[in-house]
Amino acid sequence: MQIIDNAKRILKTGYVCDNCLGRQFAQLLSGCTNKDRGRAIRLTLAMQSELTDEKIAPANFADMVFRNKTAKTEETTCHVCEGLFQNMAKISKKILKEIQDLEYNTFHIGVRLSDNLLKNEENLWESSGIETTESIKKELARELGKIIQKKTKKEVDLKTPDIVILLNLDKNAIELTINSLYIYGRYKKYIKIPQTKHYCPDCHGNGCDKCNWKGLTYDTSVQQLVSEPMLEATSGIDTKFHGQGREDIDVLCLGWRPFVIEVIEPIKRQLDLEKLKTIINKTCAKKIEIDSFRYSCKKELQELKNNHPDKIYLLTLKPKNKITEKDLKKLDSLVCTIIQETPQRVKHRRADIKRKRSIYSVKCTLTKDNCLKVELKTQAGLYIKELATGDGERTKPSISALLDTEIEVLDLTVLEVF
C-alpha cells in the first residue's frame, strides 16, 4: 500500500494534477507517461473513497462520477505545477509562434523553473519522499518536446540541435538560441588578400578615422567574399571563417585549401549550395574560387582545426649576393629536420618555443635576374618565410645560411594542401 499511502498524502495537500501526482512514481514502470500513472492512482483512490471516507482534497475528484456519493467540486489549478500541465496546449502554441519563421531540422527544449515552482516541488518531496520521483523540469521539457515534435515533424536532438528553445518560467518568456550553420568548402586565392576579416585594432570594428569608418583593416578577405552571399541567403547576423591553416595576406594559394564557414544565427538553413557556389565564383572571379561546397557540422570543424596538412610551397627569392648554379646544390641539404624558434614577427602573440619540422623535397631554379624559384614540400607548421631568411639564426638551417647571403622573399605561393 506504499503507493496509495503516499498518493493520499500528496492529494491531501490540495489539488494535484495527474502529471504532478504520477511524476512522484515516475521511476516505476516504463512505457507510460506520468499522466497515465497519475490517472491510474487517482482512479484507484476515487474507487476506494466510495467505500471509506478518505481525507483527500475534494477538488482531486472533480471529474469523477461517483455511485454512492453526490459531493461535487470544481477542478482548480494544480498547486504544484501552478497549472502548467493543464496549459500545455497554450504553452506549445506560444512556442510554435516563436519558431514559425525559422528553418531548422532539429531542436531541443530546455526549461528554467521559477523559485516558486522549485519550492512547490521541494515541499511535495518533503511530504512524499523522493525515492521514485522525477523533476518537474525534466517532465515539462520532455512533454513539450513531444508536442512540438508532433506539430512540426522536426526531430529532438539533445547534443547538437539547430535551435534551442528555453521556456524561462522565471521570466515568463520563451528564449531562442539559434545555433550556427556550418558549410564546408575549399578555396583557391589568386590575389593578395587576407584569409579572414581583420577588425581595425584601434576601434575593434566600431569605425574610426584610421579605418575610414569601416571598422576593418582590409577592404576584403576570403571570408568576406564567401560571407556576403551566405549571409544574404541565410539572413544570419555574421560569419566565422575557419581555414585549414592560416595564410598571410601576401601569400597566394593555388592549391585547394579546405575551410568551414560558420553562419551565426541563420534564419534559413535550406540552401541551394550549388547555386551559391556559382554566385560566389562568378562575383569573385580572378580573386578567389571555391568548390566542394556542402553542409558540415561542428565536429568536422574541430577535425579540420586539429588536422595539420603538409604543403607544397613556391618561393620567389632575391639573394643579396650573386648565386651560381653550383650554389643551388647546397640547398639539397634542406631536406632534413629544421629547428625553428617562433619567428620574431609573431612572437608577441605566439608562445616562444623551439619546433622541429621536416622538409620532404626541394626543387630550385635560378632566373636570369639572379632570383631563386624554390619549390618545397614541408610538414605542417613550418614558418616558410623564416626558412628563407633565417630570421636572425632563429631558423636553422635556412636558405640564407646555406647560400651565405641575405635573402628577400619576393613571393610566396601555396601550390598544394594535402
Residue closer to Zn ion by CB (options 144, 402) is 144
Nearest to 78, CA basis, from 124, 37, 114, 111: 124
Residue 366 found at the interface with Zn ion (CB under 5 A): no
Joined grid coordinates for residue 326: 653550383
Angle between helices 88-99 and 136-152 (to 10 degrees): 60
Nearer to Zn ion, 205 or 309 (CB): 205
Question: In 3-state terms, what secondary structure has residue 403?
Answer: helix
Distance CA 385, CA 398 (A): 10
Nearest distance from C-beta of residue 81 to Zn ion, angstroms: 3
Task: Tell me the number of residues near Zn ion by CB under 5 A.
Answer: 12
d(CA 318, CA 373): 9
Q: Minimum distance from CB of 80 to Zn ion (Å)?
A: 5
Which positions ≥6 away from 207 have C-beta within 8 Å? 200, 213, 214, 215
Cell digits for 293? 561546397
Contacts of 130 (CB under 8 A, 6+ apart): none
Per CB under 5 A, which region of 62-70, 120-128, 207-215, 372-380 contacts Zn ion? 207-215
| Interface region with Zn ion, contact rule CB under 5 A, candidates 13-21, 137-145, 180-188, 288-296 | 13-21
By C-alpha distance, which of 193, 191, 190, 161 is closest to 177? 161
**Residue number, 75 or 272, with CB nearest to Zn ion:** 75
Cβ 272 to Zn ion, closest distance in Å?
Answer: 36
| 238 in contact with Zn ion (CB under 5 A) | no
The correct pick among 200, 226, 263, 284 for binding Zn ion (CB under 5 A) is 200
Burial of residue 257 (number of CB atoms within 10 Å: 0-12, 13-18, 19+)? buried
Q: Which CB, 81 or 364, lies closer to Zn ion? A: 81
Given the complex with Zn ion, which of 156 and 203 has the nearer CB atom? 203
**Among the listed residues 7, 40, 163, 211, the single contact to Zn ion using CB under 5 A:** 211
- Cβ neighbour number for residue 403 with a 10 Å cutoff: 21
Question: Shortest gap between Cβ of 260 and Zn ion (angstroms)?
Answer: 28
Residues between 256 and 315 that touch Zn ion (CB under 5 A): none
**Alpha-carbon span 187 to 222, nearest angstrom:** 8
- Residue 312, amino acid: I
For Zn ion, the binding residue among 88, 208, 231, 254 (CB under 5 A) is: 208
Residue 65 CB, nearest approach to Zn ion (Å): 22
Residue 248 designated active-site: yes
- Is the Cβ–Cβ distance between 229 and 288 less than 8 Å? no
Write out the binding residues for Zn ion, residues 46-85 only, by CB under 5 A. Answer: 78, 80-81, 85
Residue 192 near residue 250 (C-beta atoms within 8 A): yes
CB of 19 to Zn ion, least distance (A): 5
> Amino acid identity of 176?
L
Q: Which stretch binds Zn ion (CB under 5 A): 65-73, 197-205, 234-242, 349-357?
A: 197-205
The strand ranges marked E within 194-296 are: 238-243, 251-264, 288-295
Question: Are 322 and 416 contacting, i.e. CB atoms less than 8 angstroms apart?
Answer: no
With respect to Zn ion, which residue has the nearer C-beta, 119 or 210? 210
Selected range binding Zn ion among 180-188, 195-203, 289-297, 308-316, rule: CB under 5 A: 195-203
Task: Find the binder of Zn ion among 17, 95, 109, 331 (CB under 5 A).
Answer: 17
Site for Zn ion (CB under 5 A): which residue of 166, 203, 254, 279?
203
DSSP 26: T
Peptide bond into 397 cis (omega under 30): yes
Minimal distance, residue 21 CB to Zn ion, in Å: 8
Instruction: Specify the residue, 203 or 366, whose C-beta has the smaller distance to Zn ion.
Output: 203
Q: Please state the closest distance from residue 137 (CB atom) to Zn ion, in A.
A: 13
CA distance 39 to 91: 22
- Mapped onto helix, strand or coil, the DSSP state of residue 288 is strand
Residue showing cell 523559485:
115
Catalytic, out of 5, 63, 170, 248: 248
* Measured distance CA(289)–CA(281) in Å, rounded: 5
Pick 50 or 202: Cβ nearer Zn ion? 202
Q: Which of 20, 91, 148, 323 binds Zn ion (CB under 5 A)?
A: 20
Enzyme catalytic residues:
248
List of residues contacting Zn ion (CB under 5 A) = 17, 20, 78, 80-81, 85, 200, 202-203, 208, 210-211
